[in-house]
Structure formats: structure tokens, C-alpha cells
Amino acid sequence: MLVTCAIILNPQNQILVTQRSSIMHLPLKWEFPGGKIEANETPEASLIREIKEELNIDIEIIDGLSANDHHYPDKSIRLIPFICRQTGGEILLKEHADYKWLDRKDLLDLDWADADVEVVREFMGNCS
């Protein structure tokens, strides 16, 4: 399953992180918002759509990071991360339990979905 996720930076270069709800797969784990790529969709178009649906905000995509393949006991995903900026809208949580803007140095303190840990490491390595 192909999943895109957005590492959204604000003007202070903090990063938006979202917490999965208790009724989702991987309940209460932190992730970068995003979701499954649908048929006939580019990864970029899918991500822009998902972020609007889940968070009510508009984003532009700045760059891509390496995809990370991860096997959960019940499913395998290829997580495809993009670095993004918010271009409009106000955050409204439609699916998630919580969100926060975090400084880069604090990212690894969260209880991440397992597939994200490698993405966080690459992002921190690239930017520090």
C-alpha cells in the first residue's frame, strides 16, 4: 500500500505532527498527516487532497524525501514523505485526535507510528 505523508513547516520552521485517533489503525500513534494514494492519482496530488480532507489546509510541496518500506503485522506500507508549506486555511481536525507544531529537536520524543521513525531520522539528518 502506497501512503504519502506531509512534513509541513510553519514560518518558524516548526513541524506539524498529528496523532491518530483511538479508532484508527495504529491508535494514538503520532504520524505526519497524509494517506493512501488512490488509483490514477500522483503522490503529490494525493497528498494535497488528503491534507485538505483531514486538516482543512492547503499546502505546497517543496521537496521529497526517501520512501520507507515498513511491514506491520497486518499490513505493509511504502511511506512516501514530502516537505511542504501551508499556503492557506486554518487547521480543523477531521480525523485525528490531536496535533502540534514541534521544534525539530523534539521530534524523536513522540510515540511515532513505526514506519515514521526512519523518515524522522532522515529529515533530522538533512536539516541539522
Ligand X SMILES: Nc1nc2c([nH]c(=O)n2[C@H]2C[C@H](O)[C@@H](COP(=O)(O)OP(=O)(O)OP(=O)(O)O)O2)c(=O)[nH]1
* Interaction between residue 79 and ligand X (CB under 6 A): yes
Dist. CA 48–CA 15, nearest whole Å = 17
Q: How far is the CB of 1 from ligand X (least distance, A)?
A: 7
Contacts to ligand X from residues 27-66, by CB under 6 A: 31-36
Stretch that binds ligand X, among 19-27, 59-67, 102-110, 120-128 (CB under 6 A): 19-27
- Residue 83's φ and ψ, nearest 5 degrees, are -85, 135
Helix (H, G, I), strand (E, B) or coil at 108: helix
Choice from 47, 113, 118, 120 touching ligand X (CB under 6 A) = 113
The CB-of-97 to ligand X minimum distance in angstroms stands at 13
Range in contact with ligand X (rule: CB under 6 A) among 21-29, 58-66, 86-94, 120-128: 21-29
Neighbours of 36 (CB within 10 A): 12
CA distance 79 to 64: 11
Identity of residue 119: V
Query: What are 32's three cell numbers?
Result: 505526519
Contact footprint for ligand X (CB under 6 A): 3, 5, 24-26, 31-36, 75, 77, 79, 113, 115-116
